[in-house]
Structure 1
Amino acid sequence: MQHDIIDVAIVEDESELAALHAELIRKHPRLRLVGIASSLAEAQTLLNEKHPQLVLLDNYLPDGKGITLLNTPNLNLANCSVIFVTAASDMDTCSQAIRNGAFDYILKPVSWKRLSQSLERFVQFHEQQRVWKIVDQQNVDSLYQLQAKNYRLDNGSKGIEEKTLERVKALFQEEPERFFSVDDVVTETGLSKTTTRRYLEHSVEAGLLKVEMLYGKIGHPRRLYRRAHES
């Protein structure tokens, strides 16, 4: 059976995080990245021109709040779904997103594994909608389960090589109190930025590292990584 390719747009003004999202999308055989917007105005243009089927949406943008996009004709006419990826932890924003049909709501700092799971659920959700023209109760229940938060992927370490992981771990063992940026790890290990991001996020998920956000310039926090202390 031939599967549809799902067009995805990213609306995120934090460049490092947008790059992380983009890598996840590019790695998935069913997803295609059609553009990245760093402001509300750019997002509206992107929706107009590319008509994506899924948007990874931040709420706090330089020129307004991403949640306002949920009520725009561009989103509704394109039959586009939304996964919120945001620091907005207030209940009003969260409940508004749910009421307006957001597929998922993920809080920053973002879990690589959590976002991967959400994207995989959406792909399956999209496929079932395409295949099932008429539904019975079992079909409906299945669709709602795909949108539930307890869906799990079996393999959280896919594409992780032990030697490369040990290389990254050694860096943090040598300086356990230091916070490293992605660029710092690239410089110290010689790995590519894409590979570095993947191994850092895997290490966070495995409890080896912790991530913190450094807020310097407004709207552009940086992800910093440090060795997680054993309790």
Structure 2
Amino acid sequence: MQLEPIDVLIVEDEAPLAELHAELLRNHPQLRYAGTATSLADARQLLQHLRPGLVLLDNYLPDGKGISLMNSPWIAEHKCSVIFITAASDMDTCSQAIRNGAFDYILKPVSWKRLDQSLARFVQFNEQQRTWKIVDQRNVDSLYQLQGKNYRTENGNKGIEEQTLSRVQSLFASPHDTVLSVDDVVNQTGLSKTTTRRYLEHCVDNGFLDVEMRYGKPGHPRRMYHRKQELGN
């Protein structure tokens, strides 16, 4: 028996990031993109109207902090889970999110692979809750392991095409201190933002590139890529 897709609401006021999240959801067979809210007010209305099963929640919004939604009756009463995606790296915010039952807490700038892994865990966690009517200790342990699983970056070439990879890597060949954002690479290669991010993260995973955060306005750091410095340089 095939389970119904889980509706997911994105709460994010940064349009390019919201669209990246939406594209990831559209490509996931067990999740369904339900809509995007760009403020707390929008989020409250869409939560009540859409009743999603999962919210991808930013903290810094134009009219307040997203974490306040975690005490919302629309989340608590409708058994809606939350994956917190934020630049808020202070322990108070992180602790509050955990206490309020966030399924996961992901720091910006977001690793595409990290978010994809989190969504996969959530789907598995949700399916087990739907199908298990009575649990034994092993079932309970399995659920806790899914929610607290350690992440390991998988190095591999799945979805990576050599010619495109070479094209991306060539942008960092000379000068050696070239620093580019996802948008910079998109403009120079003509690739989609989703594809560009996947290839850049692949280069980071394989040690060709390093990544650093550059902060502008609160909650909107940029992920900047540059050639990894070799020892002795």
Distance 2:16 2:212 in 1: 13
Amino acid in the other structure paired with 1:191:
L
Q: Partner of 1:201 in structure 2?
A: 201
Aligned length: 231
Q: Partner of 1:14 in structure 2?
A: 14
Unaligned runs of 5+ in 1: none
CA contact (8 A) 2:112 2:197 kept: no
Equivalence map 1:61-210=2 (5 Å): 61-152=61-152, 157-210=157-210
CA contact (8 A) 2:87 2:219 kept: no
- Seen in structure 2, the aligned counterparts of structure 1 residues 175 and 7 have a Cα distance that, compared at 3 Å, is farther
- Seen in structure 2, the aligned counterparts of structure 1 residues 69 and 220 have a Cα distance that, compared at 3 Å, is same
- Identity in percent: 71
State the Cα deviation string for residues 186-216 of structure 1 (Å, max 9, x = none).
2222222332222123223333323334444
Distance 2:123 2:46 in 1: 21
CA contact (8 A) 1:113 1:205 kept: no
Q: Partner of 1:46 in structure 2?
A: 46
Amino acid in the other structure paired with 1:19:
E
Unaligned runs of 5+ in 2: none
| TM-score normalised over the length of structure 2 | 0.90
2:171 is paired with a residue whose SS is helix
Q: CA RMSD in A?
A: 2.0
- How many Å apart are 1:18 and its aligned residue? 1.9
- How many Å apart are 1:219 and its aligned residue? 4.9
Distance 2:153 2:136 in 1: 26
Distance 2:13 2:157 in 1: 28
- Seen in structure 2, the aligned counterparts of structure 1 residues 227 and 174 have a Cα distance that, compared at 3 Å, is same
2:158 is paired with a residue whose SS is coil
CA contact (8 A) 2:108 2:221 kept: no
CA contact (8 A) 1:111 1:205 kept: no
Distance 1:208 1:229 in 2: 9
Distance 1:6 1:53 in 2: 6
1:143 is paired with a residue whose SS is helix
| TM-score normalised over the length of structure 1 | 0.90
Distance 1:212 1:152 in 2: 20
Distance 2:177 2:117 in 1: 31
2:88 is paired with a residue whose SS is coil
- How many Å apart are 1:151 and its aligned residue? 5.0
Distance 2:23 2:230 in 1: 30
Distance 2:186 2:228 in 1: 20
Q: Partner of 1:224 in structure 2?
A: 224
CA contact (8 A) 2:155 2:206 kept: no
CA contact (8 A) 1:112 1:202 kept: no
1:141 is paired with a residue whose SS is helix
Distance 1:212 1:14 in 2: 19
Amino acid in the other structure paired with 2:178:
R
State the Cα deviation string for residues 106-157 of structure 1 (Å, max 9, x = none).
1122222211111110000000001001111111000000001315576754
- Seen in structure 2, the aligned counterparts of structure 1 residues 207 and 22 have a Cα distance that, compared at 3 Å, is farther
CA contact (8 A) 1:113 1:156 kept: no
State the Cα deviation string for residues 82-114 of structure 1 (Å, max 9, x = none).
011111111111111111111011112222221
Q: Partner of 1:30 in structure 2?
A: 30
Which deviates further from its counterpart, 127-136 or 23-32?
A: 23-32
- How many Å apart are 1:220 and its aligned residue? 4.2
State the Cα deviation string for residues 149-178 of structure 1 (Å, max 9, x = none).
315576754312122111101111133322
